[in-house]
Amino acid sequence: MLEEAIILAGGLGTRLRKVVKNVPKPMAEINRKPFLEYLLMYLANFKIKKIILAVGYKYEIILKYFGNTYQHMKLIYSVEEELLGTGGAIKKALSFAETPTILVLNGDTFFKINLFEFWNFHIIKQADLSIALKSMKNFDRYGTVKIDKENRIIGFEEKSFKKEGLINGGFYLLNKKILEELPLPEKFSFEKDFLEKYYRKFKFYGLPFDEYFIDIGTPEHYQKACSEFWELSFTF
């Protein structure tokens, strides 16, 4: 059973500075709540017991707001003294994990998937890593992920205009021993130095979901979240 999650919450939010200032990106306020709180509300539905927050920039703001618990979940803070990249942040946070498989998600992305379904897929496939994929049309902001008929990942493509394709939804199920045993540096990109480099060596799978998806990385998408989150349900 899925019990732990890592949330990457150390983002500087440089592209959001025009509309959100002086807070870590996941603390950007959406209708009187920080974006991170919506993620925690979502995770609480799936009986997650422990959240490891991979934090850095002004993490004290997160700690002061949430403390060490949220609803029934324990909050642990994995603090970066310097920027480690997404991969370095995840690897550092894994030192606080007690279970062999852990959910990893971006602190600036919300993807309203059913985690029970995602977990069952990961177990059935006996995957080393599973990615929740989002089907999109007419986009150029994201790279795409290629899967075969068995849902195994067979390639990644750089950002370019696509009429349709599957993008990385920023939600992962990771068997932590894979990342721990690889000869990776302290600072590295999870996407470039792990996913794109090792998908042929390990069993990486992707599961498409046709669910609500948004990331708040730009002012445009941040404002979109502010208008849509009033009506979005965070219960399952």
For the stretch 117-140, pLDDT in tens is: 999 999 999 999 999 999 999 888
Bridge partners, 139 (sequence order)? 162
pLDDT given for residue 218 in this prediction? 86
Q: Which of 228, 183, 175 is nearest to 204 (CA)?
A: 175
- On the 0-12 / 13-18 / 19+ scale of CB atoms within 10 A, 97 is buried
Q: Which of 102, 89, 94 is nearest to 26 (CA)?
A: 89
CB 52 within 8 A of CB 5: yes
Mean pLDDT score of the chain, rounded to an integer? 92
Q: Which of 45, 62, 44 is nearest to 8 (CA)?
A: 62
**pLDDT tens-digit map of 45-90:** 998 999 999 999 889 999 999 999 999 999 999 999 888 999 999 9
CATH homologous superfamily for 4-228?
Spore Coat Polysaccharide Biosynthesis Protein SpsA; Chain A (3.90.550.10)
Give the pLDDT band (50/70/90) at residue 112. very high
pLDDT given for residue 13 in this prediction? 59
Average pLDDT on 169-191 reads 93
This prediction has a pTM of 0.94
C-alpha to C-alpha distances, 158 to 117, 149, 189, 202, 229, nearest whole angstrom: 28, 21, 15, 21, 30
C-alpha to C-alpha distances, 175 to 32, 69, 106, nearest whole angstrom: 36, 25, 17
